[in-house]
Structure 1
Amino acid sequence: METNADMIAARREEILERITRALARADRTVDDVTLVAVSKTVGTDEVVAAIRAGYDTFGENRPQELVRKLAELNARPDVAPVRFDMIGNLQTNKINAVLGRASLIHSIRSLHLAQAVSSRAQRRIDTGELAGPVDVLLEVNVSGEESKSGFAPDEVRSCVEELMELSGISIKGLMTMAPQGDKDVARRVFSDLRDLRDELEVRTGARLRELSCGMSEDFEVACEEGSTIVRLGRVVFDPAFALQ
């Protein structure tokens, strides 16, 4: 009988094969993409199984879960250290829980949030608690869906210089989510995110390498359109999820 750990390991091999093929179609290589296993709906035992299957980067959307899982994993000497990213909406009153724990914050959705993260990070830098600015991505609502958070593209254009001047954060790129259920629409969203990134790089002179886009339903399209980080949850952990 196949165990959950067996399923996670076998599924990882299939995911990597699909990512490799998608990247080859775009003349890219597997080194171009970081695979984030989104562990927000599973427990620490499943995370351990994923680590043993070869995953080394995980994503959480709630700071309290990030804190809990890191503490439980750190208490297990048999488990290798891994990276955790913050991928969900971050409330200002939860910023301190994330600083020093999340390697990358994917969800800077407004100038106000960027300023809040920067100011609190700068205080920790000044006291020696943080070695340097916090790596972040700007969340952009490329599709314009009311249900999604993030900067509108024109908002990013209007305040990107101000964002770049914030001393407590280091902007590494952009993040978006596409509407579910239509891969052609997803492709346009991911392409538009890449074009926006290229525009902002020319405008600011900054290197914005990272494009965090692509989830369980559309990660192959995202890889074809330039994604450097794919965030996969159900396809990694849910045996009932069927790869199309």
Structure 2
Amino acid sequence: MKHDNLEDRDVEGSARIDSRELIRRYEQTRDTVAEIAARHNREPGDVRIIAVSKYQPTAALRTLAGHGHLDFGENYIQEALRKQDELELPELRWHYLGRLQRNKAKFVPGNFTMFHALDDELLASSLQLRSKTHGGVLEVLLQVNFGQETQKGGVLPDQLPNLAEKVRRMDGLALRGLMALPPFSLELPEKQRLFSELRELRDKLQTHLGLPLPELSMGTTDDFPQAIAEGATMVRIGTRIFGERSR
């Protein structure tokens, strides 16, 4: 599906990449995730790597897809839709990770498998309307803001049950679990404590709703071992796979 009227164009789309180095980094990351999972009595398949591909050239995504990786995370609507048009690989699973303005909610259902950062009832209603129009169901995670950081999205923990109750009644959305991004400044033990709290919140919410919530999206390049130790089912890894971004 071609998407018109996209506002930005990623000039890196035709950039040259070192495919062998990219695959080496990916395999090393995949193996490390599997080793950490096993260390905590978990199966490697219990933890899915979301390759955070914002600002990365489509050639890099195509290389990883050819190596069997299917899950990619994007933070910007226009960039993600352009990549989808260029790649034309319907088997890929696209995850929208960033904050989402309501006027762009129409682009998510049908183009993304999962939205990781739902934190607002009005946004949920916009996604629901578009999902119903599109005729599908969008998987969503509720983002929790532990640090009360105004620059980040996320619902406060004490407001989580109320939002979850409203989202579960929207048949165009499938509530699948929770997501969190701890404050960057925290030391790793503190981040691990917050990951543990997110798991406990998820467990309580499951009981409250009487609804399975199997997914915990938590952990990035800097702290994914701590997230896996606390039950992460999805880790969002960019730099470790792709290397440092040029911007």
Same-fold status (TM-score > 0.5) = yes
1:63 aligned partner = 77
User: CA separation in 2, counterparts of 1:158 and 1:100?
Assistant: 27
Partners of 2:175 and 2:162 in 1: how far apart?
16
* 1:35 positional shift: 0.7
1:207 to 2:212 alignment: yes
Residue 221 (str. 1) matches residue 226 (str. 2)? yes
- Partner of 2:95, secondary structure, is strand
Aligned partner of 1:26 among 20, 29, 40: 40
Matches within 5 A, 1:166-185: 166-181=170-185, 182-185=187-190
Tell me which of 112, 128, 131 is aligned to 1:118: 128
Matched, 1:35 2:44: no
Pair 6,80 (structure 1): closer, same or farther in 2 beyond 3 Å: farther
The SS at the match of 1:37 is strand
Partner amino acid, structure 2, of 1:145: E
What is the distance in 2 between the residues matched to 1:212 and 1:154? 19
Match of 1:161 in 2: 165
Question: Are 2:100 and 1:90 equivalent residues in the alignment?
Answer: yes
Task: Give the corresponding residue for 1:135.
Answer: 139
User: More displaced, 168-177 or 143-152?
Assistant: 143-152
2:202 matches 1:197: yes
- Counterpart Cα distance in 1 of 2:134 and 2:244: 42
The yes-or-no answer on 1:73 pairing with 2:87 is yes
Deviations 1:17-65 (A, max 9, x none): 2212211222111110111111112111111122233321101111111
**1:120 CA drift (Å):** 2.0
Is the Cα contact below 8 Å between 1:187 and 1:225 reproduced in 2? yes
Superposition deviation, residue 170 in structure 1: 0.7
Partner of 1:45: 59
Matched, 1:105 2:119: no
- Cα RMSD (Å) of the superposition? 1.7
Does 2:243 match 1:233?
A: no
Separation in 2, partners of 1:4, 1:185: 36
Name the CA distance, whole Å, in 1 between partners of 2:142 and 2:81. 23
Partner of 1:199: helix, strand, or coil?
helix
**1:148 aligned counterpart, secondary structure:** coil
Partner residue of 1:145?
149
Report how far residue 146 of structure 1 moved: 2.9
**TM, length-normalised to structure 2:** 0.87
Aligned 8 A contact 1:157 1:200 in 2: yes
Matched positions, count: 228
Structure 2 Cα separation of the partners of residues 80 and 196 of structure 1: 34
* Structure 1 length-normalised TM: 0.88
In structure 2, the residue corresponding to 1:54 is in which secondary structure?
Answer: coil
| Secondary structure in 2 matching 1:230 | strand
Which residues of structure 1 form unaligned runs of 5+? none
Distance 2:134 2:112 in 1: 15
Distance 2:115 2:244 in 1: 28
